[in-house]
Structure 1
Amino acid sequence: MQKSNYRSKFAAFGAGVALLASAVGQAVAQESTAAGDTEWQQAGAFQMMVRKPVQFDRTGERMDALIAKMPKRAANATPAASREIPNKFTTGVPLAPQAPLASDFVDPMLSEPTLFTPIGGVSVAGPSSDDNAAVVGGRIAPPDISGDVGREFVVAYANLVWSYYDKQGNLVGGPFPGNSFWSGFGGRCETDNSGDPITIYDHLADRWVVSQFAVSEAPFLQCFAISDTNDPAGPYTRYAYEIVPGDFNDYPKIGLWSDGAGQSAYHATFRQFANGQTFAGIDAVAFDRDAMLAGDPNAQFVVVRINTNAVPDGIQPAHIDGGPTAPAGSCGLYGAALNNNNNDGYLFWEFCTDWNNPANSTFDAKPLLTDGVPNWASSGQVPQPAPGDALDDLDNFTMYRFSTRFFPGQGMKGVMAHTVEAGNTTAGMRWATFDLDNPDAITLDDTGTLGQNDGIHRWMGAATFDQVGNIGIGYTAASESLFPSVRFTGRETTDPAGTLQTEGVCVDGTGVQTGVSRWGDYSTTAVDPVDQCTFWTFQEYVELTGTFQWSTRVCSFRFASCTGEEPPPPPPANVAPVADAGADLTVPRRSSGTLDGTGSVDSDGTIVSYSWVSSSRTVNISNPTSPTPSFTTRNVRRDTPVTVTLTVTDDDGATSTDTVVVTVLR
């Protein structure tokens, strides 16, 4: 999100879940007296800075203990005012003006989908705006949904809450406040719940890495929590970094990179705002991964300023998603799509770290890749059904993640996705795969545009590989007649070049967003580290019409051609209970009797509540929540039939009703 100083106004949301700085048990915060360089040093064509964390601890406490230490929000507390985070992305200077699009423009890479469709799996509700309201005490837009899948669990982290699930889609924990990872840490990582979260499962270390910024005031911080095991409930090693003194570290994007030796880092990019106000540049940052995993309180990081005009914007660090490490000696990569009128292409950078002497690290820009890259055009905003407002599609940004994978016999491959004009003024996703084996000679393997010339806009996509090289893409879809929904597609290696398969539906939206144009600034698609075949995507949609009423969804899908371990089947749909209010009754006036709902059943669970309602005071039910309540009758002048309705609710919230007629004789 482009928050500049705006995000600091959301610190009030964190106040409801904040702790005073403290050191409890094993959670002893260590303040660094010297965070490293505070001035830029020239390093080749770029400026560089080497720094250390400003705060560190290792806590032996798990999430339940951390949550228990956080102040509980009072049930009658006044909610914080709902706020839209302004779109401040357009801070750069374009290289050339964009010519207006013809109304009949069609992207040259748009193609008809193949007849196949990826196999859908789990589809479960992720964190929502309602969760923010209940847990944090306020609502914001957009959600910035991030997630990943580990060996046992799936984590979904959105502004300003997170939850985790098993692989059948069952909720295991949450929703929790986003800053719960830093409970007891002290400082603003603990007290600020600022958002812009990133979730990574480091499959090479079998640990979770989560991060969000703390930006209520300077110094602006980036907070990290690294789990001790593959359990996202912790315990954690925790860090606070001030990336560049005085700069607001906006829009953090983080990726895992390792060659199994010296090139081990969590690479990141940030859009920096001097004093939280003025755009200063886009920075590439390498954090010493091995030191962080080892719990080194002085784990260093190297900052390089890539540009100062946001051209290109939305630069993404490469992320190794599944599979082995990169080949020995392979340095971390960064990439971005550059929309430059008639010279569109992809830019790449190589970041080689030297953790023995970080100041010797190097950062190298590669030539613009245009060979085989058809030009694309900007798309604009996305419409919704009435009364929804037009939505931002962030077509000037490369989407998170720039996923990479090493394929034996083929080398290092990468995939990117970004929003373009697909055709007839509709947004679509341009995807591209690359051969990254030689960073000095990166080539385009394949590319295409996701769109079906059907008036549906498809945007905010995220793509990655499975173990055989198939590509999975999750994204949002909407139009003037389609509520914002979550869909998925992809391609198998045997599909014709430039094509994608027929899309599948994760969840159909049932409402629209009103009064707010901002849509999630990013989403995530990841591959399961166990079977190496199942894709998990984390996306935004709308379930209930409203201004701050977004929802998120966690979905899985796969291709039949990937022959890893069979993924878990989706959870069966809940079967509603069957209410049975018993046989009709005939009773005298001024008498008593008993109703009988014990014949009610739930075939796939249990009935958790009963509710009896009489249509007349002639029959007065004394204990209406019992399966066998008693009742009394009043005096009547003629025979009077009274309808009594029984409603039963099962353990999944489904309901059923039945009626019984009680005839009161005069």
Structure 2
Amino acid sequence: MEHSFIEADAKLEASPAQTRTLDTMMEDMRNMPAPAQNLSAQQRMKPFLPTMPAADYAEMKARLQEAGATADKPADVHTALHAEAQPRVPIVLVGPNFQGASNVDGLTPPDTHGAIGREHFVEVTNSHIDIYARDNPTQRTSISLASFFGYTAQILFDPRAVYDTTWNRWIVTAVAFQESATRQLYFIAVSTSSNAAGPYFIYGLNVTFAAGDFWDYPQLGMDQDSIILTANIFAASGGFRGADMFAVAKARLYNGLGFAVPVFTGLRGTLAPPNVLDQNARTYLVAAAGGSALSLYTLTNSSRPNGIQLSGPVNVAVAAYSAPPDAPQPGTGALLDTLDGRFVNASTQMGNSLWQVHTINLVGYAAPRFYEINTATNSIIQSAFFFGTSTSYDFNASIAANAGDDIFVTWTMTDPRNGTNAQVRFSGYDHNDGLPYILGPGTAAFTSPTWYGGGRWGDYSAVTLDTRNARRAWLVNEYVQRNQDWTSRIVGFGFAT
């Protein structure tokens, strides 16, 4: 099928990177003021920006809450017999299960994200980066994002971190609030080696291409040749203008070189890039725009500014979906925001398969649904809901797949009827069990001791393949320590054999 090509209508230029070492970062942190110490309570909470008008989003969520869930989830969308859904080789805790970063700066939500490398796990939150020795997580280095990037003019938020297993490099990103109507900085850090505590190349990019625009909810992925970045763009009036996307050659970033790349604007929001596991010449980005289709874009020549091409979107037909209700908690009327049905994290691309997951409405409950998309035919290979119990609210999900098509997921669950506070959960499926993939209710890695009343829940989580064993993965997700304080959990899980 021939696709229509999209013209890039903006350009992003970057000077050669600055190099920052851990010693410099730590020295800066000792000398600079705490980034959030003078903020008001309202400023400490990053607002969620839906792609629909904010008033419509609030009205929709209120209507969903009023309607509520009137019955248990139907068995035919889940597994009627949990025993039949469990993989023959069960997915279990096979690594550490330890507390990660907590609410040190008073910023909410945490936006937990991170990745596992050869020797470290890197966790990023609002607004810190924490580096753990993978074989001894008590060895931890914690640095404010301000110190890490060497930037204090505005608060940094929406961080992401990935590990390039081919080139053994760390990529860390975060965006700052606007300095002015014509300047908002987006930061990219690239390690100079596999050592997460080693030097980094730091880029500060001005991503304002039209006066007053706000760059929000950036996402981070990669293919064989490039790092791929997307974001939602909002006008000064607050209206959604579409998603932006650009790609930068690894050959430039990994050597600290300057670059100039085209920027594609006005795309479907929220646009998720993939993490590509093979050498496919085509890279696929996907958005969940609502209704009964997903929007699929094709990117080629991603590393070549003069030859890059983006085509689409092509509609991929799926069962109809809509935004989920917010999640109630036992013992309180405070709800946890389950967002608007967007894809919250990068896809996994391997061969003709593209794996993704989002949280949508299932008979009055929030529930994740995963997809395996056939990028050769623009169709769904398989898709299914997963959740903890027939009365749980499940959200904040991420998915990763390995080259053998085993899948790993993490998510958050509450179950007021059974008195269950927010849990960090995980599950997965062994490809040897055949089609269709049925994710069981999973395992609770940790249950919050209380409910959360501090405002919004986090916008995303992360699960990444273990660099030493592709049959295993690591996750980072959030839970509650005290009513007003979030914390996070880092967990290693996978197949025992």
What TM-score comes out, normalization by structure 2 length?
0.87
Select which of 67, 72, 76 maps to 2:31: 72
Q: Secondary structure at the match of 1:173?
A: strand
Q: Secondary structure at the match of 2:216?
A: strand
Residue 18 of structure 1 corresponds to: none
Structure 2 residue 115 is the aligned partner of structure 1 residue 167:
no
Structure 2 residue 379 is the aligned partner of structure 1 residue 443:
yes
Shift of 1:513: 1.2
1:105–1:315 CA distance, 2 compared to 1 (3 A): farther
Quick check: 269-278 or 152-161, which moved more?
Answer: 269-278
Select which of 312, 315, 335 maps to 2:271: 315
Shift of 1:199: 0.3
Residue 227 of structure 1 corresponds to: 191
Q: Secondary structure at the match of 2:118?
A: coil
Select which of 280, 284, 308 maps to 1:333: 284
Work out whether residues 47 and 304 of structure 1, in 8 Å CA contact, stay in contact via their aligned partners in 2. yes
Residue 145 of structure 1 corresponds to: 112
Counterparts of 1:190 and 1:235 in 2: how far apart (Å)?
20
Residue 305 of structure 1 corresponds to: 265
Shift of 1:191: 4.1
Counterparts of 2:293 and 2:288 in 1: how far apart (Å)?
6
Write the mapping of 1:510-589 to structure 2, written as runs, cut at 5 A: 510-516=449-455, 518-546=456-484, 549-561=485-497
Shift of 1:519: 1.1
Residue 392 of structure 1 corresponds to: 337
Deviations 1:137-169 (A, max 9, x none): xx1211111100111110000000111112235
Counterparts of 1:317 and 1:232 in 2: how far apart (Å)?
23
Deviations 1:255-276 (A, max 9, x none): 0111xxxxx2211111112348
Shift of 1:452: 5.0
Select which of 190, 213, 222 maps to 1:256: 222
Shift of 1:415: 0.8
Select which of 465, 470, 474 maps to 2:406: 470
Shift of 1:446: 1.6
Q: Secondary structure at the match of 2:310?
A: strand
Aligned length: 469
Counterparts of 1:265 and 1:326 in 2: how far apart (Å)?
12
Shift of 1:479: 2.3
Query: Which consecutive unaligned segments of at least 5 residues does structure 1 have?
Result: 1-42, 133-138, 184-188, 259-263, 406-410, 562-666
Letter aligned with residue 450 of structure 2: G
Work out whether residues 72 and 390 of structure 2, in 8 Å CA contact, stay in contact via their aligned partners in 1. no
Residue 217 of structure 1 corresponds to: 179
Structure 2 residue 460 is the aligned partner of structure 1 residue 460:
no
Residue 250 of structure 2 corresponds to: 289
Counterparts of 1:314 and 1:461 in 2: how far apart (Å)?
15
Q: Secondary structure at the match of 2:337?
A: coil
What TM-score comes out, normalization by structure 1 length?
0.66
Query: Which consecutive unaligned segments of at least 5 residues does structure 2 have?
Result: none
Counterparts of 1:159 and 1:249 in 2: how far apart (Å)?
16
Shift of 1:79: 5.8
Structure with the bigger percentage of strand: 2
Select which of 48, 52, 64 maps to 1:87: 48
Q: Secondary structure at the match of 1:234?
A: coil
Work out whether residues 424 and 445 of structure 2, in 8 Å CA contact, stay in contact via their aligned partners in 1. yes
1:412–1:166 CA distance, 2 compared to 1 (3 A): farther
1:491–1:44 CA distance, 2 compared to 1 (3 A): closer
Deviations 1:555-592 (A, max 9, x none): 1100135xxxxxxxxxxxxxxxxxxxxxxxxxxxxxxx
Shift of 1:347: 1.5
Residue 345 of structure 1 corresponds to: 293
Letter aligned with residue 250 of structure 1: D
Q: Secondary structure at the match of 1:543?
A: strand
1:355–1:432 CA distance, 2 compared to 1 (3 A): closer
Shift of 1:124: 1.1
Shift of 1:367: 2.4
Letter aligned with residue 320 of structure 2: N
Shift of 1:196: 0.8
Work out whether residues 422 and 450 of structure 1, in 8 Å CA contact, stay in contact via their aligned partners in 2. no
Select which of 119, 123, 141 maps to 2:92: 119
Q: Secondary structure at the match of 1:367?
A: strand
Structure 2 residue 316 is the aligned partner of structure 1 residue 369:
yes
Structure 2 residue 442 is the aligned partner of structure 1 residue 503:
yes
Residue 430 of structure 2 corresponds to: 492
Counterparts of 2:91 and 2:262 in 1: how far apart (Å)?
41
Structure 2 residue 228 is the aligned partner of structure 1 residue 267:
yes
| Deviating 4+ runs (over 6 angstroms) | 97-102
Work out whether residues 528 and 535 of structure 1, in 8 Å CA contact, stay in contact via their aligned partners in 2. yes
Work out whether residues 223 and 241 of structure 1, in 8 Å CA contact, stay in contact via their aligned partners in 2. yes
Work out whether residues 354 and 373 of structure 2, in 8 Å CA contact, stay in contact via their aligned partners in 1. yes
Counterparts of 1:79 and 1:360 in 2: how far apart (Å)?
47
1:126–1:276 CA distance, 2 compared to 1 (3 A): farther
Work out whether residues 422 and 451 of structure 1, in 8 Å CA contact, stay in contact via their aligned partners in 2. no
Quote the RMSD (CA, aligned, Å). 2.7
Residue 201 of structure 2 corresponds to: 237
Select which of 4, 7, 10 maps to 1:49: 10
1:276–1:238 CA distance, 2 compared to 1 (3 A): farther
Structure 2 residue 125 is the aligned partner of structure 1 residue 158:
yes
Structure 2 residue 78 is the aligned partner of structure 1 residue 110:
yes
Residue 361 of structure 2 corresponds to: 421
Counterparts of 2:333 and 2:473 in 1: how far apart (Å)?
31
Deviations 1:425-484 (A, max 9, x none): 221110111233x3xx23322211012552111110000113422110011111222111
